[in-house]
Amino acid sequence: MRIEDVESDVKRLSNDQKLEDLPVSKDILRLARKIKIMEKKTEQNNGEFEQPIVVASSDQLHTIYEPDSNYQQVGLTDPNEEMPSSEFLYALMTNLSERFQPVQLTKEDYNQNVNKNDHYSVTRYLLNNFGEHGAVVALLKSCHQTIIARVLHRLRDTLSQGNTDLRFKDVRGSWFIFIRFDTENLCTIHRRKEQIYTKHLATHEFETLYDFEWELQCNYDRSTNQVRSVQMNLLKVYPNKECTRPDLEEKINFVVQSFKNSANNIDHCFDPSKPFPVAVVVQTDLGTADANTGSGETQEMKRKFCFLF
């Protein structure tokens, strides 16, 4: 899975395609509640910036990269769950307009022109108010399912090329989209979890091996409102505690290496100077134990609570 191929897919969809040719208006009504606007914290409102966290535990195998410690959610921070999706979409549009493309929007005009059962009405509303090349439409053109589908298709190809028996599916309810910005940078981030499973060695029934959390980041040129680069990060890996396969570490490392090989900003995710496996410190029910020495744990406990990268 080459980052160049992923970037080409994203740029073709976001920069070259027209809004009316993309499924933005179909997807946005159901995705609106999943979109979070994130602004970089300032020293005035946050003191010193927090640092990325690297942890591991029995529930969370390894946090490779914790990306949002310096950002806070703004606007729509406490959405009313009873609010109809069409009203929530209007709230999202007004928040995006306020921060990226000031336009005078009114609820009356929105209600008159947008019909939640007609996604073309959403497309017309967006184009009439923000234009094809405006910042709001540009951002939303990277907030739809087709972009994720292209990446997952490439990941499936990578798994099949590796002659592995790994399969994966999405973890329901885990997909979120972040629109993150500061004075100089603007990006959209898709963050999801996928579940890796395969056939059990003995029973030949499907068995869950682990979940992994990852993100696709689309970085924008604010002067042109176009995607200028794409990044991919593997964030966390969650093992199935019930899985006893002796090759589980190998199965985990295959996906880790797939992301390592595809990432163009790998320095903050992985240390290429460290060969696999790299031991991590884990938290167990008996307290903190060093996976290098096994102090406080038997070898069996260590196998249960820690897999080495």
Distance, C-alpha 97 to centroid of its chain: 23
Both tokens of 111, joined, read 């209600």
Per the prediction, the chain carries an average pLDDT of: 76
Least confident segment among 33-37, 77-81, 193-197: 77-81
Tell me the mean pLDDT in the region 54-60.
36
> Distance (Å, rounded) from C-alpha 297 to C-alpha 257?
28
The CA-atom distances, in angstroms, between 78 and each of 39, 83, 88, 202, 286 are 16, 11, 11, 48, 38
The torsion angles phi and psi of 210, rounded to 5 degrees, stand at -170, 165
Both tokens of 91, joined, read 């709230």
Does pLDDT of 115 surpass 70? yes
- Please report, for the chain, the start and end positions of each structural domain, with discontinuous segments joined by +: 3-272
Please count the residues of the chain: 309
Q: How confident is the model at residue 181 (pLDDT cuts 50, 70, 90)?
A: very high
**43: amino acid identity, one letter:** E
CA atoms within 13 A on the CB side of 19: 25
> Distance (Å, rounded) from C-alpha 28 to C-alpha 26?
6
**211: amino acid identity, one letter:** D
Least confident segment among 31-40, 127-136, 220-229, 253-262: 253-262
Tell me the mean pLDDT in the region 91-109.
94
Query: Quick one: pLDDT at residue 277?
Result: 32
Does pLDDT of 51 surpass 50? no
Query: Quick one: pLDDT at residue 262?
Result: 62
The pTM (predicted TM-score) of the whole model is 0.78
Strand partners, 199: 206
β 206-221/186-199 pair status: antiparallel
Of 273 and 25, the structure prediction assigns the larger pLDDT to 25
Both tokens of 213, joined, read 């959390």
Query: Quick one: pLDDT at residue 158?
Result: 78
Do residues 258 and 155 make contact, with C-beta atoms less than 8 angstroms apart?
Answer: yes
> Distance (Å, rounded) from C-alpha 181 to C-alpha 46?
16
Do residues 73 and 20 make contact, with C-beta atoms less than 8 angstroms apart?
Answer: no
CA angle 138, 140, 143 (to 5 degrees): 130
Both tokens of 227, joined, read 């995607």
Please spell the DSSP secondary structure of 83-111, one letter per residue. S-HHHHHHHHHHHHHHHHS-----HHHHH
Query: Quick one: pLDDT at residue 263?
Result: 54
For 290-304, how does the pLDDT look when each residue is reduced to its tens digit (9 = 90+)?
333 333 433 333 333
